[in-house]
């Protein structure tokens, strides 16, 4: 079986690529290597997969790749993935997440692919209050330019299943964290800023809630869905570990033995979703998957990974400083 993995040099895509290679699949990675992509994430499987640097909106080059590689299955991760960046500029989100997904679906349809795994997100459902959960039948109600672009890609996949009988499975994971995450997302931002004794920007009052899923658990869920999932179905992938942002920040500060005085409450993210929470009965019952890593274990492992890999993170810092300035404002 040969997998064509888009976005395989990204955070979750690389974790999945390593698992797929180690599980004996033939692997072709297609990645544009944007600021978020880095082949260093794949160094432990170097030489064991084929790599193409390509934009997923480049139909001609993609057709050439599909024709020469003849993959059986597409696992589609490639996306602009950060909510704050979609607020600064939505254009690349529309291009990559919507037009790129449509391009891939068209090619997959034309070559009659065996299976198309469309990686969506829990953010397509919109936000919850303090109570309740989203199940796979909950209506979509996305709120940010990012989540709207992901909901569009999610719906396009399901439309290609319904209209053209393309075998599509839609996966909606919750917030991932762990090694190799680009330090624009909450957990690596906090680790990095705390290590440098810099102010830690917490949006609003830090009361928003996310469901934290360790990245290797997510990769395992995706692999198991390839083996056991049913075409046309949607599966939520969540851990059950819900935390307020402020509690995530305090946990990291405690592990690093840093003072809570580093916390700085900053202007809230515009349109900030309050809470996400997934009902995962379907994936547990039909696929037999359940998250293995508790938040306490996962966060300890993540902090340790960043401490052990400061070289990698420091190489990202120059680009990050400019970005941090634009998202958090001057002097933060």
CA–CA dist 193, 319 (Å, integer)? 15
Lay out the site mask for ligand DAU across 111-150 (x = CB under 6 A, - = otherwise).
----------xxx---------------------------
Residues 6+ apart with CB under 8 A from 60: none
User: What is the Cα 59 distance to its own chain's centre?
Assistant: 24
Catalytic residue check, 286: no
* 306 catalytic per annotation: no
Contact range with ligand NAD by CB under 6 A, out of 33-41, 162-170, 187-195, 196-204: 33-41
Q: Which of 3, 4, 5, 10 binds ligand NAD (CB under 6 A)?
A: 10
* Residue 194 contact among ligand NAD, ligand DAU, none, beta carbon within 5 to 8 Å by kind: none
| Pattern 230-259, ligand DAU, x by CB under 6 A | ---------------x--------------
Beta-strand ranges (E) seen in 145-266 are 168-173, 175-177, 200-203, 209-214, 234-237, 242-244, 263-266
Of the candidate residues 57, 81, 251, 293, the single one contacting ligand DAU (CB under 6 A):
81
* DSSP label of 95: I
Residue 146 designated active-site: yes
Q: Quick one: which of 171, 76, 188, 183 has its CA closest to 122? A: 171
Comparison of 191 and 202: residue with beta carbon closer to ligand DAU? 202
Q: Which of 168, 189, 253, 313 binds ligand DAU (CB under 6 A)?
A: 189
Contact 16, 186 (CB under 8 A): no
Coil, strand or helix at 42: helix
Check residue 157 for interaction with ligand NAD (CB under 6 A): no
**Closest to 113 (Cα-Cα) out of 121, 102, 105, 123:** 105
Pick the piece of the chain touching ligand NAD (CB under 6 A) from 21-29, 50-58, 227-235, 307-315.
50-58
Q: How far is the CB of 201 from ligand DAU (least distance, A)?
A: 4
Output the six-digit token pair for 69: 């590689």
List the one residue from 160, 182, 289, 295 that touches ligand NAD (CB under 6 A).
182
Lookup result for tokens 């547990």: 284
- The count of other CB atoms within 10 Å of the CB of residue 323 is 17
For CA atoms 124, 126, 130, 135, the dihedral sign is: negative
Q: Are 302 and 178 in contact (CB under 8 A)?
A: yes
Catalytic residue among 122, 154, 220, 273: 122
* Catalytic residue chosen out of the listed positions 52, 125, 146, 182: 146
Residue 221's binding partner, choosing from ligand DAU, ligand NAD, none, with beta-carbon cut-off 5 to 8 A by kind? none
User: Residue 256 belongs to what H/E stretch?
Assistant: none
| Cα–Cα dist 299/203, whole Å | 20
Instruction: Select which of 31, 38, 55, 123 is catalytic.
Output: 123
Which active-site residues does the annotation give?
122-123, 146
Using CB under 6 A as the criterion, which residues of the chain lie in contact with ligand NAD when the complex forms? 6-7, 9-13, 31-34, 36-37, 55-57, 77-81, 96, 100, 119, 121, 150, 173, 175-176, 182
Q: Under the rule (CB under 6 A), what is the footprint of ligand DAU?
A: 81-83, 121-123, 174-175, 185-186, 189, 201-203, 208, 210, 245, 269, 276
């Amino acid at each position: 079986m040969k997998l064509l993995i888009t976005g395989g040099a990204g955070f979750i895509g690389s974790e999945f690529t390593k698992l797929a290679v180690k599980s004996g699949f033939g692997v072709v990675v297609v990645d544009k290597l944007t600021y978020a992509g880095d082949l260093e994430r794949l160094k432990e499987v170097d030489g064991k997969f084929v790599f193409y640097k390509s934009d997923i909106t480049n139909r001609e080059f993609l057709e050439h790749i599909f024709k020469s590689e003849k993959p059986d299955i597409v696992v589609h991760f490639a996306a602009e993935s950060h909510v704050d960046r979609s607020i600064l500029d939505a254009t690349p989100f529309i291009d990559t997440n919507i037009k790129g997904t449509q391009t891939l679906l068209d090619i997959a349809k034309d070559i009659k692919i065996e299976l198309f795994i469309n990686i969506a997100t829990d953010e397509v459902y919109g936000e919850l209050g303090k109570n309740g959960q989203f199940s796979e039948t909950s209506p979509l109600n996305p709120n940010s330019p990012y989540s709207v672009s992901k909901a569009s890609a999610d719906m396009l996949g399901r439309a290609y299943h319904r209209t053209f009988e393309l075998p599509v499975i839609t996966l909606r994971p919750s917030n991932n964290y762990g090694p190799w995450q680009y330090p624009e997302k909450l957990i690596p931002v906090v680790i990095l800023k705390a290590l440098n004794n810099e102010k830690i920007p917490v949006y609003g009052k830090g009361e928003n809630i996310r469901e934290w899923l360790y990245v290797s658990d997510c990769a395992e869920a995706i692999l198991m869905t390839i083996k056991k999932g049913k075409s046309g179905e949607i599966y939520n992938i969540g851990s059950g570990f819900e935390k307020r942002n402020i509690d995530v920040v305090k946990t990291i500060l405690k592990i690093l033995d840093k003072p809570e005085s580093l916390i700085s409450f900053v202007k809230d993210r515009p349109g900030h979703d309050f809470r996400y929470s997934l009902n995962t009965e379907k994936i547990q019952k039909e696929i037999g998957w359940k998250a293995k890593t508790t938040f306490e274990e996962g966060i300890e492992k993540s902090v340790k990974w960043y401490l052990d890999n400061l070289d990698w993170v420091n190489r990202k810092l120059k680009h990050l400083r400019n970005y941090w300035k634009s998202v958090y404002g001057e002097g933060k």
